[in-house]
Amino acid sequence: MPPPAQAHAALILVDVQPEFMPGGTLACDHGDTLVAGIDALLRQRRFRHVVATQDWHPPGHVSFASAHPGHAPFEQITLYGQPQTLWPDHCVQGTPGAALHPGVDWTALDAVIRKGSDPAVDSYSGFRENHGPRGTRPSTGLAGWLRERGVDEVFVCGLARDVCVLWTAQDARALGFRASVLWELSRPVTPDSDPATRAALQAQGIGIVVSV
C-alpha cells in the first residue's frame, strides 16, 4: 500500500451500493462485510485522490432481464456482437439501492463516476462503458480526470470483484496506469469465480493486495 497522501496514486471505490449487498436485488457474496473496512481506509486519508463509481440505471435498462421478454436473470444474450449477461433490475436511478452506502463516510471523496445511465449500453468499468451500438466503448472521462491530477497508479476495490472491479482494473492497466486490486476490500458475485479473477488480473500484470 502507498504511504499517506501519495501524490500519484488514486483509490477507486467501485459500486459500494446497497443493491449489491444482502437484501439487494443483485447481492454479492457477503458484500456488506467490506463496508467497515472501506470506511476505515477512507478515514485514514492514505490517498490524495479518491473516486467512487456508482451504477445508475434508468428504468428498463438494456442489461435488465425484464427488458427482454422470454429471458431470465443471469442468462446470456448477444448484444452489439458481444456477450451480455442479463441482470435483475438493479440500481435504478434515485432508488435507495442505488445510493452510495450510508455506512461509509464519503467526505474524502473527490469525484463520483455514474455509469450505466445510457439506457441502451451496459457499463461495468469505471473507465469505459461496454460496447455500444457503434461497436465502441465510450469513455467515462475518468482516465483524463486522473491524468490531469498526475495520477499514474490506481488501487481498486468494491463490488463486484469478478465483474466491475475486474473490468475497472483491467481498463486502468490497458490505459497505461499501474493497477492493483485490494482483494480483501472486494467481494464477488459468486466465490467460485475467484480463481478465474486472479488469473485474469495476473495475466495483465495487475497487482493483488491481500491486506490493507
Residues designated as active site: 15, 115, 164
Cα distance between residue 31 and residue 52, in whole Å: 16
Q: Compute CA 2 distance to the chain's CA centroid, rounded to the nearest angstrom.
A: 21
How far is 86 from 72, CA to CA, in rounded Å?
7
Alpha carbons within 13 angstroms on the beta-carbon side of residue 209 total 16
Q: Which of 55, 54, 53, 61 is nearest to 118 (CA)?
A: 61
Q: What is the dihedral of CA 120, 123, 128, 133, to 10 degrees?
A: -20
Local structure of 6: helix, strand or coil: strand
Q: How distant, in Å, are the alpha carbons of 89, 95, 135, 212 from that of 27?
A: 12, 16, 30, 24
C-alpha span between 61 and 36 (Å, rounded): 31
Measured CA to CA, the distance from residue 68 to residue 72 in angstroms comes to: 8
